[in-house]
Chain A
Amino acid sequence: MIFFVDLIAATLRNATPLVYGTVGETYSERSGVLNLGIEGTMYAGAFAGFAAAWATGSPLVGLATAIVVGLAAGAIMALLTVTLGANQHVSGIGLTIGLIGLSEFVNRLIFQGGDLQRIEPMSTLNPFGGLGEIGALFDQYALTWIAFLLVVPVAWWILQRSSFGLEIRAVGENPEAADAAGVNVTRTRYLALMIGGSLMAVGGAFITLALLGSFTLDIIAGRGWVCVALVIFGRWRIGRGVIGALLFSLIFSLQFRLRILPEFSALPFELLLALPYLVVIAALALSGRNVAYPGAYLKPYRRS
């Protein structure tokens, strides 16, 4: 029983950065822009959030800094792909290389490669602590509570039910028609990318500010790429993407627990660690066949 409660609690915890990233990437892609800058944006959010929290002693300042960095990263991606119409694959990879490089550069300047710096990680909230064993399930960080109870429903509602969400989907499906209907395509894509960027950065910052309380190199380790896969797996729907994030996180958390069992002690743990990535690829292969991409995916919009 303890094992399962513990496993589910860890699943929710480890899914949190993926939920932010997947929702952020969904917003970008629904507006017609594949944002491969996600890996770098999460990395920069993780670093900037940590550095600001370390400097000020306040995790909230760290979180705010990460949001600003994410907004900026989204704006740069928008400048390149929306205003200048540059290739989205290459722009995203360039953004990722640049942001990871810049984070490690500033990390080197501030911390001089000395001892690992630590901050007091954000504390967990446990409103159901009185429930005993089951209560441990709800012993989660505030950012996890916010992700599942606030960000996911609100992001879903905005995208599917609000007029702004309709505009995002319209410029991602058929920008010509949206433009003719009076929607500002450029402005809508900028907003979608900036909202998406800030969510990605918060996902990264969750790792340093809450999960670990420290920053280490290669901290994102492909989580951004996983989010890009989860968006396709979820067919650009927030709910399905979140389910994908939970499944990935379940396997991730499970392999973490299998490692300490004697049956698996002979296996190098890296092989178990690779398992979740392989499962995502397998899931894409099974469910991602001939999916319908957003109509204007990868296409810059030019008024003719």
Chain B
Amino acid sequence: MRRITVRSTPVLVILAVLLTFLITAGPIILAGANPIAAYAAYLVVPLTSQFTLLEVLVSATPILLTGAAVAIAFRAGYWNIGAEGQLLLGAIAAAGIGTMVGDLPPVLALPVMVVGGALAGAAWALVPALLRVRFGIDEVVTTLLLNPVALLLVNGLLHGPWRDPETGFPESARIAASAEFPTLIERSRLHIGFLIAIAVIGVAWYVLVRTPTGLRLRAAGLSPHGARFAGINVSRTLLGAALMSGAIAGLAGVGEVAGIQNRLTSGISPGYGYTGIVVATLGTLTMPGVALAGLFLGDLTVGASSAARSLGIPSQLGAVVQGVLLLTTIALLTQRRYRARAAAPPAAPPAAEVASG
């Protein structure tokens, strides 16, 4: 029975994607476009030229990282919905460090900036995590509330001390040349942040699946009581998962500053943290799944802007697709779980649904 449920997971995810297209046909028709042509523009057109193909990888870079960040936390049963804020803190740190390391060679400047961004993301994740493990304060609310605070912090810096002295625009000064992420392919925007994202997903996969740390993390997510009974320090495991999650989300912010914008802007993240939740869920909280889902949503993002130009469908449809996709995926995957449980009555409760245990 178990083998059948595992195998049916990709089928359910694909069904969720198809169902999403069916539902979003409504808004597409509302915009006066042909849904079939729209889906072609969304999915296929980005894959047809080298430039757009590379842009897919560029768009996938931040959401691969936020997706991995969210997946790690959710696997531990820690509901980190603050990847957006943690990303912004990583971006702030990258912009701050990036302007100060002009005298260093890239070999030193880049690692300092990357580590600084990861630490900033982890620091932003620390307070909700401590409140959760020490006082049992629901992390959902605190991580969510810190997202607008992080955005206000960005805007406060940009309208205050970091305002570009030359242009007067609410943008920070350009980071030093030695702090800019090198591009991987000439005349494209694809930068080493993409390789960092792939490496992070690889390491996260190894840690989750092959190490005792990963086992503890998954056990805490499956059943906190069971894990505690087995001698696992659940509080420490949750704290570790939260910090890892925040650090990875922070890296996404570093990549956007050092690889794309070369400065901090208030629009540095159009909701990459929330898209990370879509990526993690669509990827069924596994790292190979996150990789595929991140690339898929990168494809959709590039498709959304090309469809806006060629078919006149507002690019905001991309957000509608993401929301509907998240809902159809979670709804269908839940049905898998219930069937799996009915097939094996004495099994443990389904993953991560024992959130505040």
Contacts and interface: CB of A to CB of B under 8 A. Distances in A.
A86 B330 contact: yes
Contacts of B148: 221-222, 225, 274, 277
A270 B319 CA distance: 27
Interface string B68-86: 0000000000010100000
B135 A105 contact: no
B233 to A, nearest CB: 19
A98 B330 contact: no
Nearest to A105: B316
Contact of A100 (B131, B137, B160, B319): B319
A99 B274 CA distance: 13
A104 interface: yes
B127 to A, nearest CB: 8
Contacts of A290: 135-136
A89 B81 contact: yes
A226 interface: yes
B327 A91 contact: yes
A274 B149 contact: yes
B144 A225 contact: yes
B225 interface: no
B322 interface: yes
B327 A80 contact: yes
Interface string A78-121: 00100011110111011111111110111111000000000000
B323 interface: yes
B145 A289 contact: no
A268 interface: yes
Given A85-B334, A298-B356, A97 B326 contact: yes
Contact of B316 (A108, A222, A268, A299): A108
B353 interface: yes
Contacts of B271: 97
B112 interface: no
A97 B322 contact: yes
B142 A90 contact: no
B356 A293 contact: yes
Nearest to B79: A89
B27 A228 contact: no
B102 interface: no
B320 A105 contact: yes
Interface in B9-59: 27, 30-31
A285 interface: yes
Contacts of A101: 316-323
A137 B353 CA distance: 47
Nearest to B324: A98
A257 interface: no
B196 interface: no
Given A93-B81, A93-B274, A98-B323, A281 B142 contact: yes
Interface stretch (B151-159, B204-212, B235-243, B286-294): B151-159
B338 A85 contact: yes
Q: State which size class the interface on B falls in.
A: 35 or more
Contacts of B248: none
Contact of A105 (B27, B79, B277): B27
Interface in A246-292: 267-271, 273-274, 277-278, 280-281, 284-285, 288-290
A81 B274 CA distance: 20
B137 A87 contact: no
A34 B140 CA distance: 11
Contacts of B317: 101, 105
Contacts of A96: 323
Interface string A152-175: 000000000000000000000000
B147 interface: yes
Contact of B319 (A104, A268, A281): A104
Contact of A98 (B149, B281, B320, B334): B320
A278 B149 CA distance: 8
When A and B form their complex, which 10 residue pairs have the shortest distance between CB atoms, in order from nearest?
A98-B323, A101-B319, A94-B326, A270-B156, A268-B160, A222-B148, A97-B323, A108-B314, A268-B156, A101-B320
Given A85-B334, A222-B148, A298-B356, 20 more contacts: A34-B140, A36-B140, A76-B327, A80-B330, A87-B334, A87-B353, A89-B79, A91-B327, A94-B330, A105-B320, A106-B27, A222-B144, A228-B141, A229-B142, A269-B159, A274-B149, A278-B149, A284-B137, A288-B135, A298-B355
29 contacts: A36-B81, A76-B327, A86-B327, A86-B334, A90-B326, A91-B327, A91-B331, A95-B327, A96-B323, A97-B278, A97-B319, A97-B323, A99-B323, A102-B320, A105-B27, A105-B320, A109-B31, A225-B141, A225-B145, A225-B148, A268-B161, A270-B156, A270-B159, A277-B145, A281-B131, A281-B145, A281-B146, A289-B135, A298-B356
Interface of A: 34, 36, 40, 76, 80, 84-87, 89-91, 93-102, 104-109, 221-222, 225-226, 228-229, 232, 267-271, 273-274, 277-278, 280-281, 284-285, 288-290, 293, 297-299, 302
